[in-house]
Structure 1
Amino acid sequence: MALPRPASSWTQGLDFPSRLFESGSNDYELYEEDDAFVLTVELPGFDPEEITASWDSGVLNVAGEHEDEARGARRTYHRRFRFPKTIDEDGIEATYQNGILTVRLPVVVDAAVTGTEIEIES
């Protein structure tokens, strides 16, 4: 049985917004800025037409496929990001420069929280 890590190791150096969605890889950074989520993904060696980004039901999908014919190699990338706030789908913007994909996802301010409130008994 694995022993739990001390709380201090979990919080040590914690950059909460960028680690909120971390899945064990450091190829991306996610943070909230000016009422928007900003996601940057390192995709060096990919051409812009080899990268796709799509939004579906609160999930951003980022994928890339690169064929290096000279080396006979093929690189693929795929990652999904789920967002805890309502995103303005029409306002999502993406740019790709110098091997970095940047996706800006504006948050709908004052969006109604969906779900059911749970009564807490004492």
Structure 2
Amino acid sequence: MALPDPASSWTRGIDLPSRLFSGFGSDDYELYEEDDEFVLTVEMPGFEPEEIEVNWYEGRLNISAEHVDGSAGRERTYHRAFRMPKEIDPEEIGARYRNGVLEVRLPVLEGATRRGHSIEVES
């Protein structure tokens, strides 16, 4: 038996548009490793390339965006941070935004090993 979506059950008794909570808990990105680099794709429709900021700081990739629609009086913002499991060459990170999707390529430093350690899962 599936549990009800907390956002939809919470809003059932009040008059709020359901799209206000659309995407609640959904994944808007994909991260995978290929050819000695991580590839991160993030769905960000409705933004212009100049509204998107991508930064690398202390081993973390930060993505933020802000879009202001003055005619409709609306503002959209986006912010998300990602940590990579291997050391990245910050000078070679590249980003491209096309058709509402941001793609960031993060080359792994040669000889880099995984950070952290494995934790055994007990039953």
Find the counterpart in structure 1 of residue 82 from structure 2: 81
Q: 1:113 to 1:101 in 2, by over 3 A?
A: closer
Give 2:26's aligned amino acid: S
C-alpha contact (below 8 Å) 2:68/2:76 kept by paired residues? yes
Find the counterpart in structure 1 of residue 53 from structure 2: 52
Residue 71 of structure 1 pairs with residue 72 of structure 2: yes
C-alpha contact (below 8 Å) 2:64/2:78 kept by paired residues? yes
The superposition leaves residues 13-51 of structure 1 with CA deviations (integer Å, 9 ceiling, x where unpaired) of xxxxxxxxxxx4311111111110000011111010100
C-alpha contact (below 8 Å) 2:85/2:115 kept by paired residues? no
Partners of 1:77 and 1:112 in 2: CA distance: 31
The superposition leaves residues 44-81 of structure 1 with CA deviations (integer Å, 9 ceiling, x where unpaired) of 11010100000011100000000012211100000000
Partners of 1:40 and 1:113 in 2: CA distance: 21
Q: 1:40 to 1:113 in 2, by over 3 A?
A: closer
Identity among equivalent pairs (%): 61
Give 1:30's aligned amino acid: L
Compute the TM-score of the two structures, normalised by the length of structure 1: 0.70
What RMSD in Å do the two structures reach over aligned CA positions? 1.6
> What is the number of residues matched between the two proteins?
92
C-alpha contact (below 8 Å) 2:41/2:102 kept by paired residues? yes
User: Which residues in structure 2 correspond to 1:1-122 (within 5 Å)?
Assistant: 24-111=25-112
| SS of residue paired to 2:91 | helix
| SS of residue paired to 2:71 | coil
Partners of 1:83 and 1:101 in 2: CA distance: 17
The offset of 1:112, in angstroms, is: 6.1
The offset of 1:109, in angstroms, is: 2.3
Give 2:50's aligned amino acid: E
